[in-house]
Chain A
Amino acid sequence: MLRVENLTKIYPGGTQALKNVSFEVKDGEFLVIIGLSGSGKSTLLRCINRLIEPTEGKITWDERDITAASPKELLKIRRNIGMVFQQFNLVKRSSVMTNVLSGRLGYANPWLSVLGIWLSADRERAIKALERVGIGDKASSRADALSGGQQQRVGIARALMQEPRIVLADEPVASLDPVLSHSILQYLEQLNKDGITVLCSLHFLDLVHRYATRVIALKDGVLVFEGLPQEINRAKFKEIYGEEAQEVRATSFEAPA
C-alpha cells in the first residue's frame, strides 16, 4: 500500500505544482492519473520516487517513509519502483542491451558496473526482459535505431530489470500513435496482472476506461476526483479538462485482445 498524505510541491520559481494532495494506492491496482498538461501529474509521479523533492507532505510505502528516507535508503527504495517515460528517456547512442542493463544498476556491484562489467545472470535477465516485450532480437541495435513503440518497450524492459513492485508510467503513450498506445498499455496491464502496482498518467478517456482499475484527477495541482473509471463520463471529463475540452478518441478500432 502506497499512501500519499498532504503532498505539496512549490518550485523555486514559486509555481505551486501540487496542493495538499492525498490518496492511497492498494497493491495490485492500475491507478490512472488524468488532468491537463501542467496539472501536476508528472510532478506527483516524480515525488513518489523523489526524483523531485516534495516541499511538504508524506509518502509512505508499506510503513516505510519514502519522504524521510536517507540517501542510501532512497536508492534501495527506488530500485523497487520502475519508471516509464513519455520520451522513453533511453540513452540514444547506447545499445538496447546497455539501456536495459542500466535498469539493474541498483542491484549491481557499483565498481563493476562503472567499468561496464555485468554478471551473466544480469545479461540473461535483460534478454528475458526484452523477449517479454517482444524485441529479443534487438539487443545489439543502437537505441535510436528503433521505432518509437520499440523504444518504449525497451523502456518497459529497463523497468522490469528492477524487479519493481510499483511502476510509475508518466504519459507512456503520449508520443505514440493510437495502435501502439494499446500495445504498450497491454504490456503494463500484463505487469499489473502479475501483481505489480501501476501508476500511470494518461490523456485519452477511452484508454482510461479500458485499462484503469481506479482513477484520480488533478486540476492545477489539486486532487479533484478519485473513483472508478466508469464514474468518469463526458460531463466529468469536461469538468476536469475545462469547458473547451473536446474528447479525442484514441482509436476507432479495438486493439487485438
Chain B
Amino acid sequence: MTAVPPQKRSPLIAGLLSTLVPGLGQGFVRRVYRGVAILLATLVVTGMVAWYGHPAWYFAPAGMWLWNIWDAASLAGGQPRTILIPVIFGLAAAYGIGWQVVGVNFAAASLDRALAVARPMIHPDLIERASDKNSMWTPVYVPCPLTGSSPVAQREHEGMVASATPNCGGPTDELTLSVSGMWPDTDTQIWWNTAIGDTNLLGGVNGNSMLVVRTDANGSLTTTIHVPLNILMAQPDKTLTLEHQIFFDQYHYTGGYRISYNGGYAIKGMLETVTMALMATLLGIILAIPISFLAARNLMSGNPITFAIYVIVRTILNIVRSIEAIILAIIFVVITGLGPFAGVLALAFHSVAALAKLYSEVIEGIDPGPIEAIRATGANWVQVVRYGVIPQIIPPFTSFTIYRWDINVRSATVIGMVGGGGIGLYLIQWIQNNQLRAVSAAFIAIAVVVILLDFLSAKVRERLV
C-alpha cells in the first residue's frame, strides 16, 4: 500500500464516482483498500439503520457519504481527509441504536425497589443469637363439618394447655386463642401451620407479618385471630374438614451466637461447591495431561499424521473451551439428573479443554538445553525425563492447575443455579422465595471462600513461577 505513489487525478471525477458509489472515487485514485473499507463501512452502517428502522439515524450514513465525496476529491489532489469523521458518525449510530435496543432505562432501576432488596440484605441470615425455644400448638378444624360437630380444638402438653374457640371455622371467621403454662412475660410468636404444612402469618393487615403477643405473669395469653382468607385455596374439596395447627413459639436468648438454619445451608452449599471444583479439577488434570501431549506443536509437527492429530485435537479443545461450563451443565443435568455430579461433569469437561491447552503450551516451552545436558552425563531415558523434563514442567503445571481450581470454584457457584448442585442450588431457591437475608448469607459465603482461594492461589503460584 505504501509503495503506491501519489496519483494526481481529476478531483471532479473522483468526487462524482464517490457520489455514485461510496469508495469508488478512492479506488479511482488507486487507493483500493481505502475505497473498499469506505464502501463496507457505509453499507454496514446503512444496514444497521435500515434494520432498526428509525429514519432519524440515517444522518450517520449520510454524513459518511458526504465525507467520502470530500475525501475522494481531496485524495485526487493528493491530500487524504481524516477518517475520524466517518468513525464518529459510525459510532454515534452504533451506540445510539444500541442504547435504544437494550432499553437503557435508569428510571426503572428505582431507588425504592433497590432499597427494598438491599434492606433485608444488610442483615444476612448467617448467624443468629443463640436461644432456647418453647413451643406449643393446638389443633383447629377448617372448615366446620357440614354435619355433626367438630372435634375439640384443645391440646395439653407438658403442663401447657392451648385451645381455640370455637373449635372450627371457615376463612375470615374469628377465633379466640388461649394458651397457659408457657414462659411468663415473654413475647410469643403465633402462626398458622396448614394441614399440608404451609406457614401462614396472622399479624398485620391480612397476615403480612408475624403476630406477637406477650404472656402475662402466669405464662398465659388470650388473643383473637381470623382464619386466613386463602386457607382453602389449594384444597380440591373445600367442604372437607381438616386439622390445622396454630403454633405458639417463645424464645429466650441464652447469650452467644450460633449459625442460623439458612446460614448452615449456605456453608454446607459452599463446601459442596468447593468439593465440586476439586473433583472437576482432578478429573480435568487426569484427562488433560495425556491430551496436552497430543496438542503440543513441538512434539507433533514431526510428520503429517501427527500434525493432523495436533490440528484436530487443538480444534476440538478450542470448540469445547468456547462453551461456558454453565451451558454444559444444563446438558449434563439432562443426562445425569439434578445434583452436584452434573455440575462436576460440566466443570471437568471445560477444565480438560482449558488445562490441556495450558499444559501443551508449557510442553511447547520446554528448554531443550537442560535435556541435552542431562543426556550428556550418560543418564538413561527415565533419568533424562526425571531430571531434565519434569522439573521444567511441574511448577507451571501446578500453577495452572491451582488457577483452574480457583476458576472452577467461581464457576461452580453459578452452576448450581441450573441444577448442578452446590451453593447455587440453594441460592436460586432463596432468590425465588424472596428470602433475601439468606441470599445475603450466601453472598458472604461465596465472597469469603473466593477471596480466600484467590489470595492463597496467588501466593502459591508466586512461589512456583
Question: A residues bordering B, Cβ < 8 Å?
Answer: 49, 51, 75-83, 85, 87-94, 98, 102-106, 110, 113-114, 116, 155, 158, 161-162, 168
The answer to whether A93 touches B378 (Cβ under 8 A) is no
| Contact stretch, chosen from B29-37, B325-333, B384-392, B451-459 | B384-392
Nearest-CB distance from A188 to chain B (Å)?
16
Q: A91-B388, A110-B383, A114-B386 are in contact. Are A78 and B373 (CB under 8 A)?
A: no
A196 to B388, CA, bound (A): 26
Query: Could you say which of B373, B377, B391 contacts A106, with CB atoms under 8 Å apart?
Result: B377
Top 6 closest pairs, chain A to chain B, by CB:
A106-B378, A79-B378, A89-B369, A105-B379, A78-B378, A89-B373
Complex CA–CA separation, A237 to B285 (angstroms): 57
Please, which residue of chain A has its CB at the minimum distance from the CB of B388?
A91
State whether B392 touches A162 (Cβ < 8 A).
Answer: no
Beta-carbon contact of A113 and B386 below 8 Å: yes
A93-B392 CB under 8 A given contacts A75-B378, A76-B378, A106-B377 = yes
Flag whether B380 is at the interface (Cβ < 8 A).
yes
How far is it, in angstroms, between the C-alpha of A98 and the C-alpha of B388 when the chains are bound?
Answer: 11
Residue of B whose beta carbon sits closest to that of A162: B377
CA gap between A83 and B378 in the complex, in Å: 11
Contact of A162 with B378 in the complex, beta carbons under 8 Å? yes
What 9 new A-B contacts, CB under 8 Å, besides A102-B377, A105-B374?
A75-B379, A83-B373, A85-B372, A91-B388, A98-B387, A102-B374, A105-B378, A105-B383, A114-B386
Q: Which B positions have Cβ atoms within 8 angstroms of A? A: 367, 369-370, 372-380, 382-383, 386-388, 391-392, 395
Complexed CA–CA distance, A106 and B379 (Å): 5
B370 near A90 with CB under 8 A, answer yes
- Structural contact, B382 and A158, CB atoms closer than 8 A: no
Docked Cα-Cα span, A98 to B392, in Å, equals: 13
Q: Which of B370, B372, B383: most chain A Cβ within 10 A? A: B370
Number of A-B pairs, beta carbon distance below 8 Å? 82
Please indicate the chain A residues that have their CB under 8 angstroms from the CB of B391 in the complex: 91, 93-94, 98
Contacts of A155 in B (CB 8 A): 373
Residues of B within 8 A of A80 (CB): 378
Given A91-B392, A93-B392: A103 and B370 interface contact (C-beta under 8 Å): no
Kindly identify which residue among A89, A105, A113, A162 contacts B372, using a CB–CB cutoff of 8 Å: A89
- Which of chain A's residues has its CB closest to B464's CB? A93
Partner of B383, one of A87, A113, A161, A162: A113
Query: Which B residues are CB-close (under 8 A) to A49?
Result: 376
CB within 8 Å for A78 and B395 given contacts A85-B369, A105-B383, A113-B386: no
Contact across chains for A83 and B376 when beta carbons are under 8 A apart: yes
15 residue pairs of the A-B complex, CB under 8 angstroms, read A51-B376, A77-B378, A78-B378, A83-B373, A83-B377, A89-B367, A89-B370, A89-B372, A91-B370, A93-B391, A93-B395, A102-B377, A114-B383, A114-B386, A168-B376
| CA gap between A77 and B375 in the complex, in Å | 12
Nearest-Cβ distance from residue B265 to partner chain A, whole angstroms = 44
